[in-house]
Structure 1
Amino acid sequence: MKNTPLNYELRLIAFIDILGFKEIVKQSEIDSSKIELIYSVLEYLKDWEKSEKWDLKFVEIEESAQYKDLSNFDLRGKTNTTSFSDSIVVSIQVDQNINEMASTLIVNLAYIGTVLLEKGILFRGGLTLGNIIHIDNGTVFGQGLIDAFMLETRSAKYPRIVLSDKLLKELNYPLERKRNRYPYHQYLDRFDDGCVGFHQLIYYQVIESWTEMTPELLTEPISKVRKVIINGLDSSFEKPEVFEKFKWLKEQYNKLLILSDFDFETKTEEHIKQKIRELNEGISGQNIHYSYTDKLFENRSKDKK
């Protein structure tokens, strides 16, 4: 038993849940590759229990952070993370630097989202501000955790992380001047259902503008997630709730602002992000697979070359 008194702390709290985890476990009984997938994902999330993982490498290259004191963005030594089964809880000590703390947390969570998505894993979550007790050995409880969990369960719905109204009131909105911008402003959006948050693909849109990013570095991961989405659409014939999530993710993918790469020598334009087309788009027929339409357009493109 712990001898020192316990007290609630006001913290930033994220509750993240892997979607379809039960189905993946079920499949693993007949498909050993799913066992490897489950293990690699859980080990990856477990690794984020180390406080030093939440460093500045994804924030310090943001222009809106470079003009501020970068030390205020550092989460190391202020972060507690607990992963269990298909969920992960992250909480961070905050004081007057909530905009900086939220920035580093959101940027890192967005990065984690892309790593999981490239493995074919969808996630969703809730991010709030609340009272919590979160001990290094993994013990975690409090109203803040309940609020984050309920936000994930009731509001997130799709592969995204939704922010609570309580947290949004503490962030730097309305954004009236460029100098008041923080890194999280590039990630957050207000979706059609009114929720504010960031989806599992937004990291690619943000890093596209980083000076060290090249088309070659972006093309492969964008191609991977595109295939994940198409495969998800075509493997959910009896699961409308799963199809709905992949359809929503397809729409977010198609909205991503990622520029084409123009080769001045050959005077040709290579599209880093290929559109995910609708069923039977430009085709006379009643096919039921998104992959069929995709393959048809791919072959047409090859024939033109």
Structure 2
Amino acid sequence: MNIKYKKRLVAFIDVLGFKNLVYASTTASIDTYYTFILSNFQSAVAQRNFDFLLISDSIVIYCDESSDNLIELIKLSNILQAGLLAKGIPVRGAISHGDLFVDKLNNIIVGAGLVNSYILESAAKYPRIIVDRSLILKYYGSMKGALSECVVSELPHLSIASHNGGVVDYPYLNYGRLLSTSKSNAPFEGALSLLKNNFYKNENTEKYEWLRHYLISAFTEQKKHFENKLELNSSERSRLRRVSKYIDSFGCL
């Protein structure tokens, strides 16, 4: 075999609680997961000429390394995380870079890019997808630059806000803001149901506390965004009412 590495951006994303999906009394949740990946997400990947692999409970997305591809990978991963959370499936992951070789025919993926993102994923700790700080320096020059440039249609795709009283560690995808723009109750209810089912269990407490505080903060930012507009159309007024309602719902757990 002739292994030839290419410089790639790599997102390694792990489904939290995947074992619970496998051992659930019905296959509904795991069916939902694979249906989302193989329909909505797969088409979004193809539109960007990126590629991905499913490895057990993990998703690996990869593409050529460039500034344009980095913002697209951030957007794509944001869509993935918000979309799965809307269905009650939390994920954690990391975006990094490095040499990568992929042979999909023989199910081979190897290289520093995969190792870097895999190792960094564990540092995410909470239900979030973090970005390698070296990518911030390489493509944006500073954290401030990254936060200002990773904005699409007035929607900030990165955040550095701490929701556990700690210091800033890694920039992470602002998927709560994406979810907060939904035009229906279903995504909010999916995330709320996940929290209701796990919030009072004596396991993964810190992760779910972080998730609740983060989502309330993201929804509050979206509410302020609407309130600061001089005029709102009917769709925006509806979304303002919706996000206000769910700030209260998540706050009352």
Give the TM interval when normalised to the shorter protein: 0.7 to 0.9
Give the letter for the 1:190 counterpart.
I
Aligned pair count reads: 231
The range that moved more, 250-259 or 110-119, is 250-259
Overall identity of the aligned pairs, in %:
20
- In the other structure, the counterpart of 2:18 is 21
Task: Report matched runs for 1:94-243 at 5 Å.
Answer: 94=65, 98-137=66-105, 138-153=107-122, 155-174=123-142, 181-183=149-151, 186-192=156-162, 193=167, 194-204=169-179, 208=181, 218-220=182-184, 223-236=185-198, 237-241=200-204, 243=205
Contact 1:15–1:89 (CA<8 Å) still a contact in 2?
A: yes
Following TM superposition, by how much is the alpha carbon of 1:18 offset from its aligned partner in structure 2, in angstroms? 0.6
Following TM superposition, by how much is the alpha carbon of 1:278 offset from its aligned partner in structure 2, in angstroms? 7.2
Contact 1:188–1:197 (CA<8 Å) still a contact in 2?
A: yes
- In the other structure, the counterpart of 1:10 is 7
**Counterpart-to-counterpart distance in 2, 1:37 and 1:86:** 13
Contact 1:48–1:81 (CA<8 Å) still a contact in 2?
A: no
The range that moved more, 157-166 or 120-129, is 157-166
TM-score normalised by structure 2 residue count: 0.77
Question: Looking at both structures, which has the greater relative contact order when contacts are Cα pairs under 8 Å and sequence separation is at least 6?
Answer: 2
Contact 1:16–1:89 (CA<8 Å) still a contact in 2?
A: yes
- In the other structure, the counterpart of 1:91 is 62
Contact 1:13–1:148 (CA<8 Å) still a contact in 2?
A: yes
Task: Return closer, same or farther for 1:52/1:238 CA change in 2, 3 Å cut-off.
Answer: closer
Contact 2:96–2:131 (CA<8 Å) still a contact in 1?
A: yes
Give the letter for the 2:222 counterpart.
I
Task: Return closer, same or farther for 1:136/1:50 CA change in 2, 3 Å cut-off.
Answer: farther
**Counterpart-to-counterpart distance in 1, 2:179 and 2:190:** 15
- Deviations, residues 231-259 of structure 1 (Å, cap 9, x unaligned): 33332333331x32222122122222224
Contact 1:16–1:124 (CA<8 Å) still a contact in 2?
A: yes
Following TM superposition, by how much is the alpha carbon of 1:126 offset from its aligned partner in structure 2, in angstroms? 0.8
Contact 2:14–2:57 (CA<8 Å) still a contact in 1?
A: yes
- In the other structure, the counterpart of 2:33 is 41
Contact 1:126–1:151 (CA<8 Å) still a contact in 2?
A: yes
Contact 2:160–2:171 (CA<8 Å) still a contact in 1?
A: yes
**Counterpart-to-counterpart distance in 1, 2:53 and 2:233:** 50
- In the other structure, the counterpart of 1:298 is none
Contact 2:8–2:98 (CA<8 Å) still a contact in 1?
A: yes
Give the letter for the 2:132 counterpart.
S
Contact 1:13–1:92 (CA<8 Å) still a contact in 2?
A: yes
**Counterpart-to-counterpart distance in 2, 1:6 and 1:183:** 37
**Counterpart-to-counterpart distance in 2, 1:197 and 1:160:** 6
Contact 2:98–2:112 (CA<8 Å) still a contact in 1?
A: yes
Among 231, 255, 269, the alignment partner of 2:217 is 255
Contact 2:13–2:60 (CA<8 Å) still a contact in 1?
A: yes
Following TM superposition, by how much is the alpha carbon of 1:39 offset from its aligned partner in structure 2, in angstroms? 2.2
Give the letter for the 2:214 counterpart.
Q
Structure 1 runs (4+) deviating above 6 angstroms are 175-178, 261-265
TM-score normalised by structure 1 residue count: 0.65
Structure number with greater Rg is: 1
Contact 1:127–1:148 (CA<8 Å) still a contact in 2?
A: yes
Task: Report matched runs for 1:70-85 at 5 Å.
Answer: 75-76=48-49, 79-85=50-56
- DSSP-derived class of the 2:59 partner: strand
- DSSP-derived class of the 1:234 partner: helix
Query: Relative to total residues, which structure has the larger helix share, 1 or 2?
Result: 2
The range that moved more, 226-235 or 104-113, is 226-235
- DSSP-derived class of the 1:170 partner: helix
- Deviations, residues 117-172 of structure 1 (Å, cap 9, x unaligned): 1111001101001111122334211122111111112x111121111122222121
Following TM superposition, by how much is the alpha carbon of 1:50 offset from its aligned partner in structure 2, in angstroms? 5.6
Following TM superposition, by how much is the alpha carbon of 1:47 offset from its aligned partner in structure 2, in angstroms? 4.9
